[in-house]
Amino acid sequence: MALLPVTRWEQLFAEARASLLYVQNVELISSQLAYEAAGPDSSPFQHFWSLSVQGQFFLVWPLVAVIAVMVANRTRLSAASAMFALTGAVLVTSFVFSIYMGYAHQEAAYLMTRTRFWELAFGGILALVISGLNLPRMWRDTAGWAGLALVVSSGFVLDGANVFPGPWALWPLLGMALVLLSADAEAGDHARWGTVAHLLSTLRLAGWERWHTACTCGTGRC
């Protein structure tokens, strides 16, 4: 903080407070600061906006679960079915709103919680149904690699600042879904060689080993 001009301290303190309270995205919108304008003059707290969206989501979502249980108790629906219906309603409402805001005010839409809820609700829907989805083994490898290609390519092909969180966000989300659907639950930790699961497991283990080596060497226990 001391290295930055005094004229920026007021905004920096405001963003620091907003980050601690998980409302950094709201602060950026109210201060009319565009995330895509990141540069030397950007706040070091700017990137906490996504954590703010997640924090707000995790505060609201338990209430959705409680409402789902209440609906299930008053109807013939199971708690899972009620949760699916409510999650679907949130997904559709937020998705439509994100399209509208994308045309009305894209910079605000990018940071808004209401326009991002559908992406998180997509994961909720997937969590509710994935146990009942079972791709034939012959399609799993294709689905896995296609999903990984969608996730990786989205960062190169899509201009996220201008098209997210609208319909184009389905590109990486569907990729993520395909990767999860390609996983072989019966294989457990022993993913078959040549599959996306094997690649990701190898990268995960390699990352863990590098981190563990760095930590132990840093304490003199190499």
Query: Binning pLDDT at 50, 70 and 90, where does residue 194 land?
Result: low
Please check whether residue 61 is in contact with residue 72, taking contact to mean a CB–CB distance below 8 angstroms: no
Query: What local confidence, expressed as pLDDT, does residue 211 receive?
Result: 41
Q: Who has greater pLDDT, 149 or 199? A: 149
Query: What local confidence, expressed as pLDDT, does residue 128 receive?
Result: 93
Query: What local confidence, expressed as pLDDT, does residue 41 receive?
Result: 58
Give me the residue label for tokens 């108790």. 73
Query: Binning pLDDT at 50, 70 and 90, where does residue 202 land?
Result: confident
Query: What local confidence, expressed as pLDDT, does residue 147 receive?
Result: 92
pLDDT above 70: residue 193: no
Of 65-79, 85-99, 115-129, 171-185, the one with minimum mean pLDDT is 171-185
* Largest CA-CA distance found in the chain, in angstroms, rounded: 62
Q: Who has greater pLDDT, 93 or 187? A: 93
Q: Does the CA dihedral 111-116-117-120 come out positive or negative?
A: negative
Give me the residue label for tokens 């707000």. 56
Query: What local confidence, expressed as pLDDT, does residue 198 receive?
Result: 73
Q: Kindly state the tokens that stand for 108.
A: 């605000």
Average of per-residue pLDDT across 187-199: 63
For 8-28, the pLDDT digits (tens) are 678 888 889 999 999 999 998
For 67-86, the pLDDT digits (tens) are 999 999 999 899 999 999 99
Q: What is the pTM of this model?
A: 0.81
Q: DSSP readout, the chain?
A: -TTS-GGGHHHHHHHHHHHHTT-HHHHHHHTT--GGG-STTS-TTGGGHHHHHHHHHHHHHHHHHHHHHHHHHHSS--HHHHHHHHHHHHHHHHHHHHHHHHHH-HHHHHH-STTTHHHHHHHHHHHHHGGG----HHHHHHHHHHHHHHHHHHHHH--HHHHTTSGGGHHHHHHHHHHHHH--GGGTT-PPTTSHHHHHHHHHHHHHHHHHHHHHHHTT--
